[in-house]
Amino acid sequence: LVDINSPYPAPLHATESPWRVEFGDTARYLKVGDVIMCHVLSVDEIKRVQLTMQEREARRLNGGMVIEISPTKVPRVIGKQGSMVSLIMDLTGCRIYVGQNGRIWLDGDDRSAAVAAMAIRLIEERAQAVGLTETVRERIEWGGNKVLAAVYGPREAHPRHLQDPARALVQCRYNMAPFSVSDRKRPGPDRRSVEISKVISEAFASVVFVEQFPRTSVDIFIEVLQADAGTRCAGLTAASVALADAGIPMRDLVTSCASGKIGGVVALDLNKDEDNFGDADCPMAIVPRTGEIVLLQMDGHLTADEFDRAMGLSIGAAKKINEIQRDALRRRYESVAEQARLEAPPPPPPSEAPPPP
Ligand code: ADP
């Protein structure tokens, strides 16, 4: 008997299994507590259910975990032609099967499975929301880094003596929360955050049309909630989208990525241990349309050849990240347009013909 999340018993006959099961030998193939993927073959008028495992994809699922959602939310989790579940699989690297009965099997390492489960819960909670795909994407795409970016302005620059009569100031404040790293960080600015704020401000000052807003300031706030190396790149990339979203005129988005060297190997996007114990870390930011480099730093040593290879990796990655940035903006405006359409007042009833004179 298989528990299919239904009030009626669901037997799986030995003949409908994919194995040649001898009488009394079922336990060799399936034990109590095993998870299987099967199809409902038939349900008759007295609710007798027949299951089969003879169809394509049916199998015993080893390892992994099962989460349960309301069966009515299943189509939303699957998405149009499987788009939502494919997105979650691509972003987390998990294998996922969504059963029509609301049971979902996920397999991946602990962290990815937890992220995938969280994404599915989010979809379940917000099944009716507009722009859902975007919410999910935003929540999971940061990986080990979680960064918030906000933009204010152009607004009058304070203190006044900082105002530039010819152009706007671009001021960034990068801050890492005390709880963002495993050993609590002292709150407040330090040399590192002052340096990062400065290089990010300069990167944006070269793309924003500052001459259009004299005496003002465009303020960018980057708050790191969880840090796993490369936070200045993640912050810059997020802030760039926030600037565009705030309607600040810019020559192009800025896209950032780091590469470096670990144990003599040139690699892209180091994580915290690779960064802290590696040989070199080289964050960069480019203006994708022109290829102009607006931020370039290096910690450690790279030979000229290694530097070229590292830059090659970063530029390749930046192009892909730029696509994701543009896509995020596009989707945001699609969902705004959809929301406006839903909230628009109904069209007035057709006016009646004017009374005859
Ligand atoms: P980025 O985050 O841009 O790579 P760094 O190379 O300076 O900047 O930092 C690498 C990582 O080291 C950070 O993302 C963070 O995980 C960790 N780190 C930085 N400063 C601290 C700190 N004060 N305490 C604990 N961990 C830190």
pLDDT digits (tens, 9 = 90+) for 280-316: 999 999 999 999 999 999 999 999 999 999 999 999 9
| Burial readout 136-152 (b: 16 or more C-beta within 10 A, e: otherwise) | bbeebebbebbbebebe
Q: With the CA atoms of 312, 315, 318 and 319 taken in that order, what torsion angle do they form, in degrees rounded to the nearest 10?
A: -110
What percent of the chain is modeled with pLDDT above 90?
57
* Ligand 1 touching residue 275 (CB < 6 A): yes
CA of 163 relative to ligand 1 center, distance in Å: 32
Alpha carbon nearest to ligand 1 atom 9, residue:
229
Question: With a 6 A CB cut-off, is 147 part of the ligand 1 pocket?
Answer: no
CA distances from 226 to 148, 181, 234, 325 (A): 10, 6, 11, 20
* 306 Cβ inside 6 Å of ligand 1: no
pLDDT digits (tens, 9 = 90+) for 21-69: 888 888 889 999 999 999 999 999 999 999 999 988 899 999 899 999 9
- Residue 245: DSSP 8-state: H
At residue 149, the 3 state secondary structure works out as strand
What does the alpha-carbon distance between residue 268 and residue 263 come to, in Å, rounded to a whole number? 13
Please tell me whether residue 10 adopts helix, strand or coil conformation: strand
Look at strands 169-176 and 216-226 and give their pairing: parallel
269 within ligand 1 shell (Cβ under 6 A)? no
Q: Is the peptide bond before 214 cis (omega within 30 degrees of 0)?
A: no
Burial group, residue 255, by CB count within 10 angstroms (0-12, 13-18, 19+): buried
Work out which ligand 1 atom sits closest to the CA atom of 228. Answer: 16
Query: Which residue, judged by its Cα, is nearest atom 27 of ligand 1?
Result: 181
Which ligand 1 atom sits closest to the C-alpha of 270?
4
Tens of pLDDT, residues 214-229: 999 999 999 998 999 9
CB atoms within 10 A of CB 87: 16
Q: Give the span between the Cα atoms of 39 and 37, in whole angstroms.
A: 7
Q: State residue 135's pLDDT score.
A: 47
Residue 15 has pLDDT above 50, yes or no: yes
Judge if the beta carbon of residue 181 lies within 6 A of ligand 1: yes
Which tens digit of pLDDT belongs to each residue from 88-134?
Answer: 898 888 999 999 999 999 999 887 888 788 788 878 877 665 544 54
Ranked by mean pLDDT, which of 29-33, 153-157, 195-199 comes out on top? Answer: 195-199
Confidence of residue 153 (pLDDT cuts 50, 70, 90): confident
Q: Could you give the count of Cα atoms lying within 13 Å of 301 in the half-sphere of its Cβ? A: 2
What global pTM score does this model have?
A: 0.62
In this predicted structure, the answer to whether residue 331 has a pLDDT above a threshold of 70 is yes
Looking at the CA of residue 190, tell me the nearest atom of ligand 1.
Answer: 23
